[in-house]
Amino acid sequence: MRFYNTLTRRLEEFREIEKGKVGLYTCGPTVYDFPHIGNNRAYVFEDLVKRFLIHSGYAVRHVMNITDIDDKTIRKASELGVPLSAVTQKFIDAFHADLRALNVLPADVYPRATEHIPEMVGLISQLLEKGFAYEKDGSVYFSIGRFPNYGRLANVEPESLKLGAAVSADEYEKEAVQDFALWKGKKPGEPSWPAPFGEGRPGWHIECSAMSMKYLGPHFDIHMGGVDNIFPHHENEIAQSECANGVAFVNFWLHCQHLIIDGQKMSKSLGNFYTLSDLLGKGHAPMAVRYLLIATHYRKLLNFTLEGLEMAAQALSRVKNFVFSLKNVGTEGEADAELAAAVQASLAAFQKNMADDFNVSGALGEMFDLIGKVNPRLNALSRADAANLLGYVERVNSVLGILEPDDQGPLDAEIEARIALREKARREKDYARADEIRAELKAQGIVLLDTPAGVKWKKE
């Protein structure tokens, strides 16, 4: 398996540190607002990588932090005049609800920053002792001039380093490459904790260094996030961790490109800001959203449109219909050797595409090729053939995660939606269309009954 390592800027063959095991850290949400579907793109991509690693036989230990203290969460709490935890808990719940709806495998640990302050204080003390950090006006800063590799991940030119200048903000542009805050001295109205270097609160970057080290050790395999995390966040994580521990921090860095909407940056002011619940509220299925999020290669911008979502839903229903048919066909008889060979070849091609820097469209193409080949002869399949094909879909879906575990054909909500379409066609006197919808549903084993109380349906 090979993928693009941001650190070396090339495709590299994946090699784990400890045989058969992968330590994986993904930057989780900053919980000051509801997650948007851009965040979900990053989480679903990370899930795809994790699922493929598991599919390939690795035991994955996955840690995903929750940033429940930083500039943004504090600002939000102060705007609302409530304690920090009153803001963060609501958005932590919303984050988990989105992940569940999108069929994202849970991480092994979701450490919260506010529950790891002693670890951060310990790490900052170490950096101070070793001379990589200094105190100034009650805060502690990391001295980037002391770390020769600073700028390697984000490809920042060393000449642009503003040595001696210090920045307190958690987020800043590449143009402001400066010493950054590890610990911010207490300010009125802000939450704070005691520390040997004075009362205060942690900066954002030290959170991930302290928590990844605690749960995965000082040197682990893969670290992921969205591209906006590369600088300064991940650059700073590397600096802090490597200076404190004296060993390489992470072997492979993977970053997912952004999701944009209708060709523009998503923003609340433009009114083009979607959350998953916005989309579900409009009647879209969560698995269609997941399909859309994974279908574009992770290193390309994903231009989100509602038309694209419709197309994702259509592609997904091809797979669901295929599964549904396979569960309902099957003659007595032997397994077809030629079909078995085609299934095996398709699975191998699917895996080969995934192993090539997560070429999802290539992998999906292989799956749809097989579905296209089998569809015309569904009725002639033996039960052994159908079982073999269902096993294939299960294997492929263990990576894609686009079918829910209990997917046994169209969901009730989809059936209701199709019935509503048929009603509309009938009201518009388009009886041909109405009959067509009835026939489509019949083919999926759904029978419509026109009763005085309206249309009812049942499974055959």
Binding site for ligand AMP (CB under 6 A): 27, 29-30, 38-39, 41-42, 225-226, 228-229, 256, 258-259, 266
Give me the residue whose beta carbon is nearest to ligand AMP.
226
Residue with tokens 């026109």: 450
If contact means CB under 5 to 8 A according to the sort of partner, which of Zn ion, ligand AMP, none does residue 41 touch?
ligand AMP
User: From the CB of 41, what's the least distance to ligand AMP, in Å?
Assistant: 4
If contact means CB under 5 to 8 A according to the sort of partner, which of Zn ion, ligand AMP, none does residue 259 touch?
ligand AMP
Q: Alpha-carbon distance 66 to 63, whole Å?
A: 10
Q: Which is nearer to ligand AMP, 63 or 326 (CB)?
A: 63
The DSSP 8-state label assigned to residue 104 in this structure reads P
Give the interface segment with Zn ion, choosing from 26-34, 100-108, 171-179, 442-450 (CB under 5 A): 26-34
> Does residue 208 touch Zn ion according to CB under 5 A?
yes
User: How far, rounded to the nearest angstrom, does the alpha carbon of residue 231 sit from its chain's CA centroid?
Assistant: 19
If contact means CB under 5 to 8 A according to the sort of partner, which of ligand AMP, Zn ion, none does residue 258 touch?
ligand AMP
Q: How many residues bind Zn ion (CB under 5 A)?
A: 2
If contact means CB under 5 to 8 A according to the sort of partner, which of ligand AMP, Zn ion, none does residue 38 touch?
ligand AMP
Q: Which is nearer to ligand AMP, 174 or 383 (CB)?
A: 174
Give the pair of three-digit tokens for residue 111: 């450490």
Give the pair of three-digit tokens for residue 293: 């999020």
Q: Which is nearer to Zn ion, 77 or 208 (CB)?
A: 208
User: From the CB of 14, what's the least distance to Zn ion, in Å?
Assistant: 21
If contact means CB under 5 to 8 A according to the sort of partner, which of ligand AMP, Zn ion, none does residue 116 touch?
none
> Does residue 27 touch Zn ion according to CB under 5 A?
yes
Q: Which is nearer to ligand AMP, 296 or 397 (CB)?
A: 296
3-state helix, strand, coil in the chain (%, to 5): 50, 20, 30
3-state SS class at 280:
helix
If contact means CB under 5 to 8 A according to the sort of partner, which of ligand AMP, Zn ion, none does residue 181 touch?
none
What secondary structure does DSSP assign to 322-358, as a single string?
HHHHHHH--BSSPPPHHHHHHHHHHHHHHHHHHHBT-
Q: Alpha-carbon distance 400 to 105, whole Å?
A: 11
Q: Which is nearer to Zn ion, 208 or 403 (CB)?
A: 208
User: From the CB of 237, what's the least distance to Zn ion, in Å?
Assistant: 6
CA nearest to 313, candidates 391, 413, 447, 442: 413
Which pairing describes strands 139-142 and 302-304: parallel, antiparallel, or unpaired?
A: unpaired
User: From the CB of 383, what's the least distance to ligand AMP, in Å?
Assistant: 44
Alpha helices (H) along 23-151: 37-55, 71-80, 84-101, 117-129
Give the pair of three-digit tokens for residue 93: 């719940």
Question: Are the C-beta atoms of 401 and 443 separated by less than 8 Å?
Answer: no
Site for Zn ion, rule CB under 5 A: 27, 208
